[in-house]
Chain A
Amino acid sequence: MSAVMFSDVKAEELLSFLTLDTRPDIKGQATEYILGLSGNRDGCRFLQTNSDLIKALLTLTTDPSIAIVKDCYHTLINLSADETMHQLLVKNHDLIPRLFKNLLDPEYMFADRICTILTNLSRHMKTCKEVFKVMQEQNVGLAQIVDIFCTEGYNKQASLHYLGPLLSNLTQLPETRHFILDKERCVVQRLLPYTQYEASTVRRGGVIGTLRNCCFDHAHHEWLLSDAVDILPFLLLPLAGPEELSEEENEVLPLDLQYLPEDKIREEDPDIRKMLIETLILLTATKVGRQILKNKNAYCIMREFHNWEKEPQVIAACEKLIQALIGDEPEPSMENLLELEIPEDVEVKLKDMEAREEEQLKKDEEDRLNPDQAQQCAGIIRMM
């Protein structure tokens, strides 16, 4: 049967070919065709007409043929990348539990693809909650996810880098932030070294996104900046360069930033650089945060960074941070900028000046609820 004939076939008929018992060559062509459909919007809509499709795909992930399993997973990835498909996916109660089960299996070959699907599904709040609910029902703890993420070589066949963005997406939920920022445990501390993980932009970006979202909880700023966690050097190091600083400047910096070698390279991905700066800006929202960043000479690092950065968006963020670091302390009643409520009469006066700043704050809120567009959360694989 050729692909041309398939396009005339109704969804139900297509479905009938998606069973384990179907002749392998027909099965293969069917899954290939469906993958192609899932790659575009219209195709997806076509597939949406039958909810048994997901069940069929899920079943076929147990097929002995690796090619077929791959196609099924890729189809699921494409479907999950489209928000309008989420309800369809979630309607199948077996899907997410099965995905998690395989994810935790250290021998499972397709664990990376599962990560991508889950990351896509958790991108928007509604389905994110669903994903989390399943995790709780299946007793898949965040602890487990973090553990696997931080265990080098947990799965010999999968890098599991996409657990990073998954975690980042899950931090939209207060429960996740609560877990990561647990003072009685060692969770956020284990994530910090990954801000410099060279081998994967996805992993790095995921961790930094996680940290950024957690920094919206300004009650934790002091703890995060204390020796118990010491988040600051991990945020500044990727932004620090090989430029030589004087001994006086060096001695005030956090230990990890002192006397950096001449081959030090800055973070290469501009979006990640921007996220790091955004996280630092969040930390300057509280007085104690500002104080600590000032005392630890963060300005020095950002000064050199500003001279080096070329991307306009990142420069703008950098300037905002520098302003917070060298600007005058706001009046006592304005100390906590995140809680700032502008009284009506003052609002009119300040409107012009601060219009831009408010816009940025609003955008930050949006970014928290909807993870950064540019971040590789949606691993879309479109195959025609």
Chain B
Amino acid sequence: MASPAQQGDDSDDDMDGFMERFKKEKYSNAFSEDNWEEEFNTVPMFMKTAPEDIDPMKHPELAAIQSIIHDDDRPLEEQAKSLKDEGNDYFKDKKYKKAIVSYTAGLKKNCSDSNVNAILYTNRAAAHFHLGNMRSALNDAVIAKKLKPDHIKAFIRGASCCIELKKYADAFQWSEEGLKLQPTDKKLLELRATADRHKRAAERDARKAKVKEKKQRSEREALLKSIEERGIKLLIPRQGPKRSSDVEDDGDGGSSKAMSGLDLDGLCSAEATGAKVFLDEQGVIHWPVLFLYPEHQQTDFISAFSETSSFMDHFCLMFGAELPPWDTNRQYSPHNLQLFFEDQQKESLYEVNPDTSLLKSLQHKRYFVKAGTPSFVILVKGSPFCEKFLSERKTHRLK
């Protein structure tokens, strides 16, 4: 503007002078031509988007406007409402965490308008819902319902949360209550149907599991009975600290206790396949059987050895066409093999005739099936290893 020195002069001249300077000189704080768009964007009025966080140092004007919004002098209801609107805006932009912050701030105002508070809770519940915080969402819905028992959105939210939490009976209850207030609400009708469907599916699953369990139990009992009838003895492992709880839990008494002996196949074999002894439709028992080859520190696992088959049947299959790769001396041919089982208690070996059936061998008075998996030791007849092995142990040979 006109300098003090020219104060006394004719104003027109001053004006001309001013206009001249105006055309030529840039005023301070002018936008530069290069980045005027950027600079425009820093003026609150012309901002296209607001920055995420308002730093009072960088955007003093924005910070000033913001503080007007959060002016502490206005009545609490208004403040709460503004915070609600703020939360809603964040919600619309899917910024759920920020929405929750705003809603929470609104609730902190503790204003007396229960309508606004109910809406704040309901909306916060929705925000939590979209973040996957179902429990928090449900809590907020419960409070909202209490504050405003006719707030339909609270019921919709409550029911939706319960469905996500798989509390179908509760979801059903919420939708029924909501429908009492608004019998034609489509969302509530849908939620009710969904909750009902899931509830009935869960009931059916429970029934199916029960039927299955009953079937398994009767199969187990039939199997144990068959084993017992054959005079086969199972070795029940001594109950260690881990297993002591089983004794209390056993609803069906002896049956599953006996079965636990049959389930421990994992302990025995490195090749545990989870194979279990079973009774087939013709009433024949099939056992998982281990063949041990101490000479070469090898084992073979036969997952289903029919009790009516003989060992020789299996030898011919296993060693008939091809000898195992670890049999470097090519000695393990079917008729070269000698078969024993170990009586752990008496630390002795009993020879078994390979032509006998598995059943017969298991019925030996000293045979105890360990961990549900009968095992047998196989040696090459007359081999040096065999002689040595047998001499180190008490052996009962076949006559």
Residues in A lying within 8 Å of B, measured CB to CB = 143, 147, 184-186, 189, 227-228, 250, 255-256, 258-261
Bound: A186/B208 CA distance, A: 30
Is B180 close to A, CB under 8 A?
yes
* Mask: chain B, 175-214; 1 = CB below 8 Å from A; 0 = not: 0000110011000010011001100110110011011000
Contact A186–B183 (Cβ < 8 Å): yes
A228 contact from B193, B207, B208, Cβ within 8 A? B193
* Mask: chain B, 200-244; 1 = CB below 8 Å from A; 0 = not: 110110011011000000000000000000000000000000000
Contact B192–A255 (Cβ < 8 Å): no
Residues of B within 8 Å of A259, CB to CB, are: 204, 207-208, 210-211
Q: A189-B196, A259-B207 are in contact. List 19 more A-B contacts (CB 8 A).
A: A147-B180, A185-B184, A186-B189, A186-B192, A189-B193, A227-B193, A250-B208, A255-B200, A255-B201, A256-B200, A256-B203, A256-B204, A258-B207, A259-B208, A259-B210, A259-B211, A260-B207, A261-B207, A261-B210
Residues of B within 8 Å of A227, CB to CB, are: 193, 197
Interface size on B, residues (CB 8 A): 17
Bound: A16/B184 CA distance, A: 52
**B159 → chain A, closest Cβ, in Å?**
13
Contact B183–A185 (Cβ < 8 Å): yes
Bound: A143/B179 CA distance, A: 12
Subset of 12 A-B contacts with CB under 8 Å? A147-B180, A185-B183, A186-B189, A186-B192, A189-B192, A250-B208, A256-B200, A258-B204, A258-B208, A259-B204, A260-B207, A261-B207
Residues of B within 8 Å of A185, CB to CB, are: 183-184, 189
Chain B residues touching A, majority SS? helix
Residues in B lying within 8 Å of A, measured CB to CB = 179-180, 183-184, 189, 192-193, 196-197, 200-201, 203-204, 207-208, 210-211
**A85 → chain B, closest Cβ, in Å?**
37
Residues of A within 8 Å of B200, CB to CB, are: 255-256
Bound: A255/B199 CA distance, A: 11
**A29 → chain B, closest Cβ, in Å?**
47
Bound: A140/B192 CA distance, A: 26
Bound: A255/B204 CA distance, A: 6
Residues of B within 8 Å of A186, CB to CB, are: 179, 183, 189, 192
Residues of B within 8 Å of A260, CB to CB, are: 207
Bound: A185/B180 CA distance, A: 11
Bound: A186/B187 CA distance, A: 12
Residues of A within 8 Å of B189, CB to CB, are: 185-186
Bound: A259/B179 CA distance, A: 32
**A382 → chain B, closest Cβ, in Å?**
40
Residues of B within 8 Å of A256, CB to CB, are: 200, 203-204
**A225 → chain B, closest Cβ, in Å?**
14
Bound: A255/B207 CA distance, A: 10
Bound: A260/B211 CA distance, A: 9
